[in-house]
Amino acid sequence: MTPTDAIPLLQARGLSFLRADEPVFGPLDFALHAGELALVEGDNGSGKTTLLRLLAGLLHVGEGELRWRGRGWNRDERAGDVLFLGHQLGLKMDMSPRENLRIAAGLHGTRSGRTAASVLIQVGLAGYEDEPVRRLSAGQKKRAALARLLLLPAVLWLLDEPYANLDRAGIALVNQLLEEHIAGGGAALVTSHGAVSFHGGEPKRIRMHG
Ligand SMILES: Nc1ncnc2c1ncn2[C@@H]1O[C@H](COP(=O)(O)OP(=O)(O)OP(=O)(O)O)[C@@H](O)[C@H]1O
């Protein structure tokens, strides 16, 4: 069965978000299946971050419908299935990368065979595991946030400008994480103003403006 034959992981029908009764984006229609990557495209201010925040459960659906595996969308039930990495990295600055991961894993569990120590090595933070996050560089902070993608069992990744602040090796790391996630049956929505060099197949495209 190809991914497109299966029930979508996530489906949006006529989806929009309203601010002061005015649509910020939409109506949007798209479907994302397990094993698919979608690039969310649009100009500055077109609503890409707003869409990802809505899917992360941080904002309410304005109009239209969201479905998860063919059923109604309940953002509380989706908490462990969806992992959002935004401009704000969601890290506690006075805690170390290891402590941040421990808190996240306590809430959502871990992928089998993965530990905080192993994923921190994978993202290039060996030697910085116990340093308060506020003392890390911007790129190192981003890497500490990326470590969550490796450790937690979420199936849908929402990545807002995941390449920002990263050096060439960091950009390659994001691409590698995405390729492994998609190949393993995960799905991802990604915004990026730079080129995304994803080698795991042609990504879907979600255009934010009509
Ligand atoms: N907290 C907020 N309060 C009011 N309006 C907001 C807020 N955040 C965003 N907006 C507005 O919502 C619209 C969409 O913003 P959003 O950040 O989703 O766009 P974007 O496509 O991600 O932009 P960029 O490419 O610049 O990151 C913009 O017009 C913006 O001014």
Domains in the chain (CATH in brackets) are 36-53+78-207 (3.40.50.300)
Question: What pLDDT, in 10s, does the model give residues 85-109?
Answer: 998 999 999 999 999 999 999 988 9
Q: Is 203 in the pocket of ligand 1 (CB under 6 A)?
A: no
Q: Is 88 in the pocket of ligand 1 (CB under 6 A)?
A: no
* Nearest partner of 115 among 129, 101, 130, 94, judged by Cα: 101
Which atom of ligand 1 is found nearest the CA of 42? 21
> What is the average pLDDT score of the chain?
91
Q: Is the pLDDT of residue 10 over 80?
A: yes
Q: Is the pLDDT of residue 4 over 70?
A: no
* Nearest partner of 30 among 203, 151, 160, 159, judged by Cα: 203
Residue nearest to atom 5 of ligand 1 (CA): 19
Contacts 24+ apart (CB under 8 A), 97-104: 97/125, 97/128, 97/129, 97/130, 97/131, 97/133, 97/136, 97/144, 97/147, 98/129, 98/130, 100/133, 100/144, 100/148, 101/147, 101/148, 101/151, 104/148, 104/151, 104/152
Q: Is the pLDDT of residue 3 over 80?
A: no
19 alpha carbon – ligand 1 mean position (Å): 10
Q: Is 148 in the pocket of ligand 1 (CB under 6 A)?
A: no
User: Could you tell me whether strands 10-19 and 22-32 are parallel, antiparallel, or unpaired per DSSP bridges?
Assistant: antiparallel
25 alpha carbon – ligand 1 mean position (Å): 10
Please tell me the pTM assigned to this model.
0.93
Lowest mean pLDDT of 24-28, 55-59, 78-82, name the range: 78-82
Question: What pLDDT, in 10s, does the model give residues 151-205?
Answer: 999 999 999 999 988 889 889 999 999 999 999 999 999 998 876 777 777 889 9
Q: Is 44 in the pocket of ligand 1 (CB under 6 A)?
A: yes
Q: Is 17 in the pocket of ligand 1 (CB under 6 A)?
A: no
- The helix/strand/coil state of 137 is coil
Residue nearest to atom 28 of ligand 1 (CA): 45
Mutate to test the pocket of ligand 1, among 39, 40, 46 (most ligand atoms within 8 A of CB): 46
- For residue 5, the model assigns a pLDDT of 62
Q: Is 47 in the pocket of ligand 1 (CB under 6 A)?
A: yes
Question: What pLDDT, in 10s, does the model give residues 94-149?
Answer: 999 999 999 999 988 999 899 999 999 999 999 999 999 999 999 999 999 999 99
